[in-house]
């Protein structure tokens, strides 16, 4: 038997204002997008904005439904829109912000498992990494160089060949 370890590095900022101006602008847009989320059941608003390699931006918000499995996360709304509006243009960076109306919004929240799988698939499809900027409405910010790092030992298209 062998023991193995999986690690990855990320960047931690005490405040979004410490980001590069382009990243801070993207984060601010994601924070603004939380106001367009539809989350009457959880009161947990999520906004996401992506910068594509061609300079365009695309945004998304979570959309809940009384039939819980029918809802969709902000990240997957964004990925779906980008796939239709900019079919062959990779995403360079995606900022994701959360606003918890029932509690604190000062900590970054990482994408759920389903979104991690979708981000990984998008990276593979476009053959381009997606940088992630994760944040609440204030406070610490996490920057991850490649979304696929969030899903070690992942299942992907190569497993189907």
Which pLDDT band, with edges at 50, 70 and 90, does 121 fall under?
Answer: very high
Q: Please state, rounded to an integer, the average pLDDT across all residues of the chain.
A: 96
Which pLDDT band, with edges at 50, 70 and 90, does 88 fall under?
Answer: very high
Percent of the chain with pLDDT over 70: 100
Kindly list the structural domains of the chain, giving each domain's residue range(s) and its CATH number in brackets, ordered by start: 11-149 (3.40.140.10)
Sheet with 131-135, side-by-side order of all strands: 11-13, 141-144, 131-135, 91-100, 44-52, 57-61
3-state secondary structure of 122: helix
Catalytic residue among 5, 22, 32, 75: 75
* Cα–Cα distance, 111 to 124 (Å, whole number): 17
Cβ-contact 122, 52 below 8 angstroms: no
- The question of whether 22 is a catalytic residue gets the answer no
* Cα–Cα distance, 138 to 153 (Å, whole number): 32
């Amino acid at each position: 038997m062998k023991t193995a370890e999986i690690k990855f590095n990320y960047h931690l900022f005490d405040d979004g204002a410490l980001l590069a101006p382009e990243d801070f602008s993207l984060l601010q847009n994601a924070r603004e997008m939380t106001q367009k989320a539809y989350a009457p059941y959880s009161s947990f608003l999520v906004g996401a904005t992506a910068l594509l390699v061609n300079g365009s931006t695309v945004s998304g918000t979570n959309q809940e439904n009384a039939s819980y499995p029918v809802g969709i996360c902000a990240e997957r709304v964004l990925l779906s829109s980008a796939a239709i509006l900019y079919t062959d243009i990779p995403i360079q960076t995606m900022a994701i912000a959360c606003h918890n109306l029932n509690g604190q919004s000062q900590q970054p929240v990482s994408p759920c498992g389903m979104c991690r799988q979708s981000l990984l698939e998008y990276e593979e499809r476009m053959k381009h990494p997606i940088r992630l900027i994760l944040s609440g409405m204030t406070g610490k910010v996490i920057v991850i160089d490649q979304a696929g790092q969030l899903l070690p030992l992942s299942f992907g298209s190569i497993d189907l060949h």
